Structure 1
């Protein structure tokens, strides 16, 4: 049962084919068997408590389904460390709005999924819990920052997982773990918690799953309308497949995005699947200068991180990830003029995208296959030096910068046996179109059936 998708498991629970306690037992047995080599699930709660909670799960769409929450989302009664030694003993008294929606729907929260420190960098390692490894090759990274979620799904420890995405944090690990991951239009999954809700629009929560039907099930719950959030546009409702779409294949953005050999081949094959389904594919020249996108993104990202986490500079130097300290210092040094210029570039890019005569933009979900898990981050791709800790994942910036919906679908496996994904990026607010296309793609492929070798 544990290897089936969430929709199947929930149907079995409703039919009485399996009891909530039995499903929880299977889940915990699977975690005990697989997690020691993967390290995707952290802060796992006590077995007997979880078995009791499963038996009295709250009625709802997810009633009785075990879930682990990404360790960036505040979860009442469970350590929420953000991957930081500063917060290694932090136990929130209240759930974040997204977690509260999952509990309301009947999910049983078993623990957390691992993430890099404060979600920075697409490699899930931290000094609190250590490294999350890729189920398809345990010497390799599972990606991040939702690496724990992606690896837990791929290794069949959970059937549904929440993630969050600022700079590809849903899309990169989805691609590297052979699952689906969706960054919704900004505001569809709204979080009306404390803090700013107007200035920064770079990050959002979203769903990860092993099937499109599961992905849309979870998105429908995560996207409950939040009247306390000015950009809330939920709830999500699935749409019927639209007329045939025009898909713009951008490849490596005219050479601006350095790619490891094999990445483009897999993604081109995936795009051809869509063409075979009757959609029109257009090979596009770069529609906007990549360096301008990067300039705007890095400035706005550092500025946002400094605003949220700037007070951490008061902590002892050895308690902060060097990349976090770099982001904060860079953001604090940003002038009002520089922030304005970055936002003007962002605005120009949004207008550019709005004027394109293509419905979907297609790009790889990462610029390289999973790298050595012992590294902090890859410093080069094919001989080209990466000048920052996140330059190697620049390919996710076009969607993140302007809050576009972006679905990562499995694109196959490279020569070394590790997965790759394809981004399908829609127009803002047209999430249902992107997901309908994802359902079509899923029906024509079967990559998800390929499990890690340990079975």
Structure 2
């Protein structure tokens, strides 16, 4: 592992140094590329690489600095873009052999916003096929290993982004989230993943534009860095049906929060999500240490009854909308996770969809009532410590067989259904020595208030022994792991 690199610095610090002419965008990009080439063979986080264009853009960024031109908020910063987001001139595979040669001339809206802010897109980051599942592995680029132990799962579907950040290859990466795809890999890799309110970051390629399930958002090593990227990603776009305005300057600038004035509710399972005793006890111990920070810190019982059935239907509908043509042409062209969701959706009728929408509305209203008494809800992100990446998904937990390949994601997809903004922030290590994350859920559309509170909480955690952001052991990243880049396949789900 390289002993030193500019990419170890925070994105906020790097941008400040570029603006002061103390570091060069060219030198920063060179460091990022060197670190990718040195470390990626051990974890396989990076998919397609765009070094030639990035180097040309870095030279232009440097010239702009030297001329004294106005600089964007991300000027000269190297970033990674999740391989589900279309990126002009750079291969975007969606983790599927169907898109092995897919290169477009246009960016998705959020990518265009990030470029307009001055960022330099260095590479795409690895994903599961079409983002289906929380294990980042596909038949195009292979599997992504956890930076704390590359034999284990890095989470997903933004697993490549989380690993690129944790290993300090890149200072900022994008992600997206339907059932937890920003929050899960962030928690399993010891970084920050923020799921914004639906519509805040434009996602104009979503087939079901009125569905609030899927969002694009930022990933970073700190909340402050995540805010910097979020401020660039947001933008009121007329192609986004759920769009609502938010001032980018307000997104970047934290407002002071006195944690001692906040009332916090917490839960080990969100009222029914599968959960290992180990993770439940870890959360309980963490909350006991955090309780003195807050005005109130109460364990509460939540009512998420029906959430699994709601998510089944809502998720399946989106897969039918996205994959019907490919399935009809050749079902075997899709992997087992995608096929399972499509086939579930194809069996549903209008009455199923109506019941799910009505039940989601009732669930939303029950959850919002909590915020009459509390400012934040805190819970776990995942129910288990990372398992081997060779295991496609978790099939059983605590002696109970799980419902399907994504049931183990219930702690995050329950929160998806109520649409509140949510963030995963690192909180030390679990009993197995792997990263542990807190899922912090804010009020409806109160994205900035949640980020303010999360930044204050992150600062407090950094002062508490064993509660701050962990960093990977360089010894585990010393040797390439060719098994990660082998073409991987999986048996059909049971």
Match of 1:22 among 23, 27, 34: 27
Deviation at 1:184, TM superposition (A): 0.8
Q: Whole-Å Cα distance in 1 between the matches of residues 24 and 257 of structure 2?
A: 39
Aligned to 2:142: 130
* 1:237-252 mapped onto 2 (5 Å cutoff): 237-238=250-251, 240-241=255-256, 244-252=261-269
Q: Whole-Å Cα distance in 1 between the matches of residues 114 and 286 of structure 2?
A: 33
Aligned to 1:213: 224
Q: What secondary structure is seen at the aligned counterpart in 2 of 1:61? A: coil
Aligned to 2:17: 12
Q: What secondary structure is seen at the aligned counterpart in 2 of 1:407? A: strand
Q: Whole-Å Cα distance in 1 between the matches of residues 240 and 389 of structure 2?
A: 38
Aligned to 2:157: 145
Deviation at 1:55, TM superposition (A): 1.1
2:57 counterpart of 1:53: yes
Deviation at 1:376, TM superposition (A): 0.9
Identify which range, 265-274 or 437-446, moves more after superposition: 265-274
Aligned to 1:454: 474
Verify the 8 A CA contact 2:81 2:173 in the aligned structure 1.
yes
Match of 2:334 among 313, 320, 326: 320
Give TM-score scaled by structure 1 length: 0.95
Q: What secondary structure is seen at the aligned counterpart in 2 of 1:363? A: strand
Sort the Cα spacing of 1:287 and 1:317 in 2 relative to 1 into closer, same or farther, 3 A: closer
Q: Whole-Å Cα distance in 2 between the matches of residues 218 and 269 of structure 1?
A: 32
Deviation at 1:272, TM superposition (A): 3.8
1:247-267 deviation digits (Å, cap 9, x = unpaired) = 21121245x333234312332
Aligned to 2:320: 306
Match of 2:351 among 334, 337, 349: 337
Deviation at 1:215, TM superposition (A): 1.0
Give TM-score scaled by structure 2 length: 0.87
Q: Whole-Å Cα distance in 1 between the matches of residues 257 and 8 of structure 2?
A: 32
2:455 counterpart of 1:439: yes
Match of 1:347 among 354, 361, 366: 361
Q: Whole-Å Cα distance in 2 between the matches of residues 334 and 308 of structure 1?
A: 16
Aligned to 1:396: 412
**5+ residue gaps, structure 2:** 1-5, 65-70, 476-494
1:103-129 deviation digits (Å, cap 9, x = unpaired) = 101111111000000000000000000
Q: What secondary structure is seen at the aligned counterpart in 1 of 2:105? A: coil
Aligned to 1:94: 106
* 1:193-272 mapped onto 2 (5 Å cutoff): 193=205, 195-198=207-210, 200-236=211-247, 237-238=250-251, 240-241=255-256, 244-254=261-271, 256-272=272-288
Verify the 8 A CA contact 1:267 1:411 in the aligned structure 2.
no
Match of 1:39 among 34, 44, 49: 44
Deviation at 1:398, TM superposition (A): 2.2
Deviation at 1:228, TM superposition (A): 3.6
Match of 1:359 among 367, 375, 384: 375
Aligned to 2:175: 163
Q: What secondary structure is seen at the aligned counterpart in 2 of 1:173? A: helix
Q: Whole-Å Cα distance in 1 between the matches of residues 194 and 460 of structure 2?
A: 19
Deviation at 1:274, TM superposition (A): 4.2
Aligned to 1:182: 194
Sort the Cα spacing of 1:182 and 1:143 in 2 relative to 1 into closer, same or farther, 3 A: same
Deviation at 1:229, TM superposition (A): 2.6
Deviation at 1:403, TM superposition (A): 1.3
Q: Whole-Å Cα distance in 2 between the matches of residues 221 and 50 of structure 1?
A: 18
Verify the 8 A CA contact 2:173 2:218 in the aligned structure 1.
yes
Deviation at 1:316, TM superposition (A): 3.3
Q: Whole-Å Cα distance in 1 between the matches of residues 344 and 175 of structure 2?
A: 26
Q: What secondary structure is seen at the aligned counterpart in 1 of 2:73? A: coil
Q: What secondary structure is seen at the aligned counterpart in 1 of 2:194? A: strand
**5+ residue gaps, structure 1:** none
Sort the Cα spacing of 1:194 and 1:39 in 2 relative to 1 into closer, same or farther, 3 A: closer
Deviation at 1:194, TM superposition (A): 7.1
Aligned to 1:285: 301
Sort the Cα spacing of 1:258 and 1:322 in 2 relative to 1 into closer, same or farther, 3 A: same
Q: Whole-Å Cα distance in 1 between the matches of residues 175 and 23 of structure 2?
A: 27
Q: What secondary structure is seen at the aligned counterpart in 2 of 1:445? A: helix
Verify the 8 A CA contact 1:76 1:92 in the aligned structure 2.
yes
